[in-house]
Structure 1
């Protein structure tokens, strides 16, 4: 098993294009957003008020023994503390609320966008990466609002406000206070660069760990069948060691930076106390000013210590935003410009000179032309890779043809509204996918117009009713992930019920009985005949015995039609179909 590692780097926070795109999601909540900006400014203005009024209390009231005045200033300080606490609560709650509603909107838009993507997009994009975009990247984006942008703006405003007040109170003491600032700025810059690399390593390690686990848990049967448990365990240990190393590195940088920042702040505080004390002793400054400056320094250095961490949070948010918007702006979607929405169709299908390639001009289908009249059954046979399943994908417009036309009831399928086209086509695939939900939901797929009676009638038609009724809860039985609690044959029967219950005019069966035993196959074949009655049917089958009664059998090889006709007429040709038929007869005799 191969594992593609995902490596990402932090981006530039001043990415105006990303910020503009983010603002489009903020716009519906711009009233609350502007109120958040107001709260940010209010917090910055409130930050220096307590030290200032403590200075006033000491110098104007404590020093002269004015008890009534001191009581009044204490009341004022209590009021300011309560006000600041209320504003801080509102700011924290609102920033988190805005972040969550925005990522809810982005996640919904992203998922809706994915629902419209071509299957080719999913063929070329790892599932783990799409899950990361929808979950981890969007969660990181939420931090931009709760811990990144608003917090950084608030810290910068608080720094500016405190610095202005400090210069206003005593400019000489302010200059002494800032003596250690260059050291703090240098250490903060070094920390920012180191932690940015560490965060990138952590993010890449998490992505690689998630991808490995998803891939190997999904493919656990292969791991065990080929006795690879020990080897895969060793690979997991290696990836887990990288994950641990990345996290420990990030913890180490924090462990170094914050004590260093505390020491620098302590040195700055010591210089202030030393210089301020000499001026107090010389009667050049009041003691309240000195005490307030110690408090100012604590308020001033705290945002600087935090800003590096928040800067990296914002960087990661910008990177996540870029990834999300890149996915949202991808135009690898099936054009849905058709307007025709017929209530019913006759099921007349025509392929006219159809060419198709999944990649460039590596043709999978070459000049395919055939017709299926209403109510007819045609069968597609041929070796693996002959192009049979590609025909099914093209009829449903899961992929777009490169050349030629496909018509249903004389209308180019591109003229149909996409949902209306697929509504009239029922498909039963060889590999049945069931969601982790009830049997009823897996059959109806949440369609409220389909009743339980309809489901049970369809189940009775294909012989699924008996086993469904024996399950605990019947239709309400939870099949678990991918239908793990059901047998292959039972999952196949449910897929038949799912196709029939929508009552489509066109039925497509892609190796629909290849996964069931002979007894179940005979039962399903009877059900298929009833299901096909009055419907246009296209059947892909390796077992030629199941398609002998088809109105037309199309023999394909390397994307081309080699032969076509009824079972008897093809045997008379003594060509490809005849050889295939003889090979299957021999294998049955040997078996």
Structure 2
């Protein structure tokens, strides 16, 4: 994506709020005009007062303060101030409305997109990277629009108007002001370029420090156990020393900017004061216009400095927009629906000569065939990397087969709506997932139309009702963000109850009893057995003792079925499954 196009593309979001944007720009222009008029109006007042006072001092007959004219000028000054405040407030109000609505639309598009892109995208991108695009990148764009858009307009308008005013007041003095502009800009740009590497390094070291602190707080008990407190403190000291060094350099170099810019402004002040004073004495310039020139020197340096500082913010916004649009440009999941599911599926599943590869030229599954009757329990075992999870990914249509087909009740799953098809499934994974809400709402996630009575009935079937009632608040207890206020086994029981509420026809079970105590393991196995009754079930087995009742056990290795059969037949064959089972049995005996 070309970098210049990201801002053009952002306009496709902003243009939906053209009225608010137009009002913001118009009011900011009014504010800039009123701000530039201030020195000129003050100059008229000062000129009139000095002229009247000089006449009175010189004893000119009838000389007096021209109160009527000065009152008109003061009224103009007050009216200017009123319009300036209205312009400033109004422009901020309307730009905030336009920007926040634009960012809301951008977030909504990202949220909708994330539900349409294939699962393979998440396998290729880190969770933290994706989270950053949704949060920090969007916030960077929001801040850039909110803070820089109107400031750029204000700075440009101020420069144009100031140049016009000084040229109107005195051409020769105007040259001094105009010459100071590029000097101010290039000086600020030079200092920024020198300081940026140190600011970047400072951000990186700060990230290292935050990561180190988070890691040490998480593993604090382990650090204490192995007596690594001193080593940890020394490592932290090294990081903070580096942060202090780069922080000092970044702050020092950037801190030079203001003295340099002030030096240029002061030089312009001095030249205008001396040269302008001579012109005043020569009657070529009024004293009021001289003070206006002095103020315009400040009004010139301020917007130039603003534009220079905003350059970095706009660069960051451009980078963030590129990352955001990369997500929005991802291809959606293909969903060409040619067949409809009438009623519910029975759960008859067939793998027909299935081939699959994650990477071209590196096949993982070759000519895989399997027939599963409704209500059967199929256990899948094998070493790490055998293809167990891949098989489930293909069945759930997280990935499509490279060749062959998978049919459910005679339907090729590639011809079904992914959403309608996946509604027929229930999943209980090894990593139990609950979100930040009440226990009742977490259970209702399986069936949004479930009544409180149905939720309680499902909890009872899953052997978790008694536990829930012992919690503070019972079914209304709020889960925290990490779901750490209940145990792993209890979370597993809740996910089983959630699956029961969904009433699926096909179950995917990633057995997750290895990290719980014996009592909870028995409860989970009992609940899973109830869950599987009358449903086609695919169980990824870790403990072979839990799948002895399976109708068929598949022993996978490198994407191929090495052995298949019942528990008893596989033991009698004395093959890979027999060796695997006996090794686990020996460990349990020990």
**Alignment TM-score, normalising by the size of structure 2:** 0.90
Q: Does the alignment pair 1:47 with 2:46? A: no
Per-residue CA distance 1:478-521 (angstroms, 9 max, x = gap): 33233222222212211211211110001121124333333333
Paired with 2:520 and 2:268, the residues of 1 have a C-alpha distance of 84
Tell me the CA shift for residue 230 of structure 1.
Answer: 6.0
Per-residue CA distance 1:332-388 (angstroms, 9 max, x = gap): x53233363544111111111223333444444332210111112211122232222
User: For residues 146 and 54 of structure 1, do their structure 2 counterparts lie closer, same or farther at Cα, with a shift above 3 Å needed?
Assistant: same
SS of the aligned residue for 1:63 comes to helix
User: For residues 352 and 232 of structure 1, do their structure 2 counterparts lie closer, same or farther at Cα, with a shift above 3 Å needed?
Assistant: farther
User: For residues 111 and 209 of structure 1, do their structure 2 counterparts lie closer, same or farther at Cα, with a shift above 3 Å needed?
Assistant: farther
Contact 1:342 1:420 in 2 (8 A): no
Q: Does the alignment pair 1:497 with 2:485? A: no
Paired with 1:104 and 1:28, the residues of 2 have a C-alpha distance of 12
Tell me the CA shift for residue 83 of structure 1.
Answer: 0.8
Contact 2:555 2:564 in 1 (8 A): yes
Report the equivalent of 2:467.
467
Q: Does the alignment pair 1:423 with 2:423? A: yes
User: For residues 113 and 508 of structure 1, do their structure 2 counterparts lie closer, same or farther at Cα, with a shift above 3 Å needed?
Assistant: same
- Pick from 16, 34, 47: which aligns with 1:59? 47
Report the equivalent of 1:6.
none
Contact 1:439 1:475 in 2 (8 A): yes
Report the equivalent of 1:537.
537
Contact 1:177 1:269 in 2 (8 A): no
Per-residue CA distance 1:493-552 (angstroms, 9 max, x = gap): 112112111100011211243333333333333333332222111122233332222222
- Segment of structure 1 superposing worse, 190-199 or 368-377: 190-199
Paired with 2:420 and 2:211, the residues of 1 have a C-alpha distance of 37
User: For residues 446 and 493 of structure 1, do their structure 2 counterparts lie closer, same or farther at Cα, with a shift above 3 Å needed?
Assistant: closer
Q: Does the alignment pair 1:350 with 2:350? A: yes
Report the equivalent of 1:481.
481
Q: Does the alignment pair 1:21 with 2:9? A: yes
Tell me the CA shift for residue 15 of structure 1.
Answer: 4.1
Tell me the CA shift for residue 81 of structure 1.
Answer: 0.7
Report the equivalent of 1:3.
none
Q: Does the alignment pair 1:251 with 2:251? A: yes
Tell me the CA shift for residue 426 of structure 1.
Answer: 0.7
Report the equivalent of 1:157.
157
Contact 2:14 2:99 in 1 (8 A): no
Tell me the CA shift for residue 155 of structure 1.
Answer: 0.5
Tell me the CA shift for residue 472 of structure 1.
Answer: 1.0
Report the equivalent of 1:320.
320
Report the equivalent of 1:35.
23
Paired with 2:227 and 2:437, the residues of 1 have a C-alpha distance of 32
Tell me the CA shift for residue 309 of structure 1.
Answer: 0.8
- Segment of structure 1 superposing worse, 550-559 or 39-48: 39-48
Q: How does 1:96-107 map to 2 (within 5 A)?
A: 96-107=96-107
- Give the aligned length: 577
Paired with 1:212 and 1:107, the residues of 2 have a C-alpha distance of 31
Paired with 1:466 and 1:279, the residues of 2 have a C-alpha distance of 94
Contact 1:128 1:210 in 2 (8 A): no
Report the equivalent of 1:289.
289
Paired with 1:448 and 1:299, the residues of 2 have a C-alpha distance of 61
SS of the aligned residue for 1:378 comes to strand
Q: Give the CA RMSD over aligned residues.
A: 2.8
- Segment of structure 1 superposing worse, 213-222 or 139-148: 213-222
Paired with 2:243 and 2:414, the residues of 1 have a C-alpha distance of 49
Tell me the CA shift for residue 223 of structure 1.
Answer: 7.0
Tell me the CA shift for residue 410 of structure 1.
Answer: 1.4
Report the equivalent of 2:57.
none
Contact 2:177 2:300 in 1 (8 A): no
Report the equivalent of 2:110.
110
SS of the aligned residue for 1:526 comes to helix
**Alignment TM-score, normalising by the size of structure 1:** 0.90
Contact 2:24 2:93 in 1 (8 A): no
SS of the aligned residue for 1:564 comes to strand
Name structure 1 gaps, 5 residues minimum: 1-10
Paired with 1:240 and 1:528, the residues of 2 have a C-alpha distance of 52
